[in-house]
Structure 1
Amino acid sequence: MTFSEILDRVGSMGPFQYLHVTLLALPILGIANHNLLQIFTATTPVHHCRPPPNASLGPWVLPLGPNGKPEKCLRFVHLPNASLPNDTQRATEPCLDGWIYNSTRDTIVTEWDLVCSSNKLKEMAQSVFMAGILVGGPVFGELSDRWVPESIRWLVLSGKFSKALKTLQRVATFNGKKEEGKKLTVEDLKFNLQKDITSAKIKYGLSDLFRVSILRRVTFCLSLAWFSTGFAYYSLAMGVEEFGVNIYILQIIFGGVDIPAKFITILSISYLGRRITQGFLLLLAGGAILALIFVSSEMELLRTALAVFGKGCLSGSFSCLFLYTSELYPTVLRQTGMGVSNVWARVGSMIAPLVKITGELQPFIPNVIFGSTALLGGSAAFFLLETLNRPLPETIEDIQDWHQQTKKTKQEPEAEKASQTIPLKSGA
């Protein structure tokens, strides 16, 4: 009897599990809003140079930019009515007396004047914030693991059989299977889970992800997929104000697109498979981001539609990756693999704001980087194994055997095809 079979006896998916999933889900509801808080706390309102102290002597006129609109970061050195030569009169300089903002709402931009030459600090603030999440995850995750036992399986593998038995019986009672729970004994746990207990004595670590060739491939491809998803996702999610649409309305649309995106993703991974779904979601997202390069800023509706489509694909990519990653790694390395993958997603979200700074050189550069990375991550997904309708691998040997079977299955049709192309020898 395996551990899953014992769980079936006490109710592997009943009221107890539904309650705990709900309690775990409630704190997660606010995480996305917290990560995207800077969309609203760091908006950049319309602004222009504050007039110099002597501006009251004449009308305050701003120089016009190439687009015919007043400059945000320059002012005339001299007042327009000053009796100076024309070439001197049109000379400009940076805003030396601060800025005037066309907004009554305070943000970190208006508080610390993160505009013009200091606008890069806004992106760095978001990057530092995401770095804090990257560091905080393992630190506070380790601390949180000290409140209560992780799971019944953890109790069994740690040798705490009596406590594990009491917990199982409590779960059985909660799920309406009290009699089944009473039938379980400590001897049942020791005897039936002997294989699990023996395998738990072998310690696996980070190095095991790279020791075997198939695990190296899985780790590399998944890391790239996670990185590109987090990297591209936050490039769109944090760029709401770039599309010229009301940020509150667009944020509602960005949030709403997740519902159909995740529903379509669930259907796709259930019928088409994980590999195809993951690959095409990132390829479509990368294509949408690259398409933004060729759409002018005046075409706000089309730019918004492309951004919403790309964000929906990346949201679906996250959903697929969480499932796909847990199915690709064997049980003995599953949490290690999930941890490494999530780190790469956090690294991507941390670097994304910094890449936006390259837009100072050429406006299209950030989208080229974001889109190309998404395409690269999508391509890497096609080198992974398909997990649809397959049992979870328990050991490293399981995934090695699985890989060998996949190679053998591919080689058989090729060998058969090659044998059919051998020319017949003519008789003597």
Structure 2
Amino acid sequence: MGFADLLEQVGSTGRFQVVHTLLLCLPVLMMASHNLLQNFVAGVPPHFCSAHTNFSASTRMSAAEKLHITVPIDANGSPEKCRRYESPQWHLLANNGSTDPEVWEQAALRGCDDGWTYDERERSSSIISEWHLVCSLRPLKSMGQTVYMGGVLVGAGVFGALADRFGRRVLLTMSYLLMAVSGTCAAFSPSFSLFCLFRFMCGMALSGVVLNSFSLIVEWIPTRVRTVIGTGTGYCYTMGQLILALVAYFIRDWRWLTFAVSLPFYVAFLYSWWLLESSRWLVLKNKPEQAVENLRLVARYNGRQADGEKIDVEMVKSSMKKEMSGCKSSYTTLDLFRTPTMRKMTVCLCAVWFSTSFAYYGLSMDLQKFGVDIYLIQVIFGAADIPAKVIINITMSYCGRRLSQCGGLVLAGITILSNLLVPYDKQMLRTCLAVLGKGCLAASFNCCYLYSGELYPTILRQSGLGWVSMMARLGAMVAPLVLLLGEYVTWLPGLIYGLVPVLSGVAAFLLPETLNIPLPDTIQDVEDRGTGRISKTEKKEAIFLQDNADNLLKQTS
């Protein structure tokens, strides 16, 4: 008898699990809003140098005429973005608006000393127009997203380790509050440096929300429904992308948009006190009394109070005697690398998470390059995740996690590389290939969370997820910086974004399969299954679970 049997006794798929999972998934809807917020708050509006300060405002000229005599035209026939004439070129008006380069080429030019004029018909404001992050300050746009992802990276390491020591629920509650407060502060920041600081804190909070929500979901549900629940959680993130496009469409001011996507976390903070700590974790942390209390509460909520009253401390201790004996008092991140199987597994997962996040945010963080309405492309990119996650759900259930993870990464890489061969003027085909690649990466992300949670043991699950999540955020930090290479070699970012997933897909194939195998609780459990082989008893259990999973899929379809 193990924890899975105790969970069955109190109702493993009852009303508690439904409500508990829904409450944990609701904040996930807004996670995409913060991850992809940069597309809207940092959208670069059309801009050009402002007219000279001593330019007569009383001059009876149209705006087009004023622009014509103060700003030169670039090679594409558009006003220069970062240069203007040193003095108004009145003779251009005498030439009937001629734009012949010979007329103005010899005129003295200088930078935008009097600032910029922005076309804000699309959005009423952005951090670009607020703090003039254009021309020489243009790299600061990418730095803002890199700082945010740096916060996600730090948060993954900090909250992952703390959650294994102090519990999932308390860290989740703290993360909700941190996200709400730091998001509000970012919305009303008076300077770009403070904006980056609070966005860094938002990133830290997001890691705490992701890691602890997933662990609380997985550790309160039985093995047979992990795939379905994991996929459902992924769909919440997908829906969040569509919600972001809708909210951004109606809220065009970047400050109020940032505030709007932070408000729901105040609500999540309030109801998070109702959530229960993982009894599995409590037992392994030598707190069986509290674990029994939580199990009885679950039984009562599921209408199985009589069965819950039969559970006592001795029963819990005897059920998890093996797991408790294999646990030491404390673990560190070094335990992820001490033993051969754990070390190999962690290295491969680092490659998988890094490449998935690297390519995903490389495609998602610069939607303006597709030449399509930004709200429409955000909806298309979000909608692409829906069929992708349906397919990955099916392949994970029938072909296994390893093949699904490998296939998603390799296919994404091939799609991105194929886009390099498409001429730039074929925007429709380029967009379709990008959407397909992004869908594959979203499916890979969906598999990542479930697969990693099944690979790592309970005693190190948060630390393991925190570590690989740090690698993902490192990839997300590097992604916007790679885009800057495109200013020197246009095809280089696409080549890098495509090759990295293909190489990591090979690494994914070295991981052990976890389809319908019970969650490991100790490091020894992981080492025992390191060869990928399972005992006869486990094989029988796996067949039983597979049959149940098949029936469940048939019922849901």
Match of 2:357 among 217, 227, 230: 230
Report what 1:132 is aligned to: 151
Normalization by structure 1: what TM-score?
Answer: 0.86
Letter in 1 for 2:20: H
Per-residue deviation, 1:119: 0.9
Alpha-carbon distance in structure 1 between the residues aligned to 2:409 and 2:462: 24
Alpha-carbon displacement from aligned partner over 1:290-326 (angstroms, at most 9, x marks no partner) = 3333333322211211221111111101001111112
Are residue 161 (structure 1) and residue 186 (structure 2) matched? no
Alpha-carbon distance in structure 1 between the residues aligned to 2:394 and 2:437: 19
Report what 1:323 is aligned to: 450
Match of 1:347 among 451, 474, 484: 474
Alpha-carbon displacement from aligned partner over 1:186-206 (angstroms, at most 9, x marks no partner) = 332233332233223354432
Alpha-carbon distance in structure 2 between the residues aligned to 1:162 and 1:269: 37
SS in 2 for 1:100: strand
Per-residue deviation, 1:145: 2.6
Report what 1:100 is aligned to: 117
- 5 Å-filtered alignment, 1:17-416, equals 17-53=17-53, 60=69, 62-77=71-86, 79=89, 81=91, 89-104=106-121, 105-137=124-156, 139=158, 142=162, 145=170, 150-201=277-328, 203-404=330-531
SS in 1 for 2:515: coil
Alpha-carbon displacement from aligned partner over 1:224-254 (angstroms, at most 9, x marks no partner) = 1101111111111111111110001111111
SS in 1 for 2:326: helix
Alpha-carbon distance in structure 1 between the residues aligned to 2:34 and 2:47: 27
Alpha-carbon distance in structure 2 between the residues aligned to 1:206 and 1:271: 33
8 Å Cα contact 1:330-1:399 kept in structure 2: yes
Cα distance 1:81–1:405, how it changes in 2: closer, same or farther (>3 A)? closer
8 Å Cα contact 2:323-2:522 kept in structure 1: no
Alpha-carbon distance in structure 1 between the residues aligned to 2:19 and 2:277: 16
Cα distance 1:21–1:102, how it changes in 2: closer, same or farther (>3 A)? same
- 5 Å-filtered alignment, 1:7-26, equals 7-26=7-26
Alpha-carbon displacement from aligned partner over 1:25-78 (angstroms, at most 9, x marks no partner) = 112210111111111111111122223346669851643333343332233445
Alpha-carbon distance in structure 2 between the residues aligned to 1:369 and 1:137: 25
Alpha-carbon distance in structure 1 between the residues aligned to 2:438 and 2:313: 51
Alpha-carbon distance in structure 1 between the residues aligned to 2:82 and 2:17: 57
Alpha-carbon distance in structure 1 between the residues aligned to 2:287 and 2:458: 20
SS in 2 for 1:48: strand
Cα distance 1:164–1:406, how it changes in 2: closer, same or farther (>3 A)? closer
Tell me which structure has the larger Cα radius of gyration. Answer: 1
Cα distance 1:287–1:76, how it changes in 2: closer, same or farther (>3 A)? farther
Report what 2:553 is aligned to: none
8 Å Cα contact 2:156-2:469 kept in structure 1: no
Alpha-carbon distance in structure 1 between the residues aligned to 2:116 and 2:422: 31
Pairwise CA RMSD: 2.8
Alpha-carbon distance in structure 1 between the residues aligned to 2:524 and 2:294: 32
8 Å Cα contact 1:51-1:60 kept in structure 2: no
Alpha-carbon distance in structure 2 between the residues aligned to 1:324 and 1:196: 21
SS in 1 for 2:380: helix
Gaps of 5+ in 2: 60-65, 95-101, 174-272, 535-557
Alpha-carbon displacement from aligned partner over 1:8-29 (angstroms, at most 9, x marks no partner) = 1111221111111111111221
More displaced, 240-249 or 210-219? 210-219
Cα distance 1:217–1:187, how it changes in 2: closer, same or farther (>3 A)? closer
SS in 1 for 2:69: coil
SS in 1 for 2:110: strand
More displaced, 358-367 or 91-100? 91-100
Alpha-carbon distance in structure 2 between the residues aligned to 1:272 and 1:45: 46
Gaps of 5+ in 1: 408-428
More displaced, 179-188 or 154-163? 154-163
SS in 2 for 1:67: coil
Cα distance 1:254–1:369, how it changes in 2: closer, same or farther (>3 A)? same
Alpha-carbon distance in structure 2 between the residues aligned to 1:89 and 1:166: 83
SS in 2 for 1:403: coil
Alpha-carbon displacement from aligned partner over 1:397-428 (angstroms, at most 9, x marks no partner) = 44334334659xxxxxxxxxxxxxxxxxxxxx
Letter in 2 for 1:340: W
8 Å Cα contact 1:77-1:89 kept in structure 2: no
Cα distance 1:262–1:359, how it changes in 2: closer, same or farther (>3 A)? same
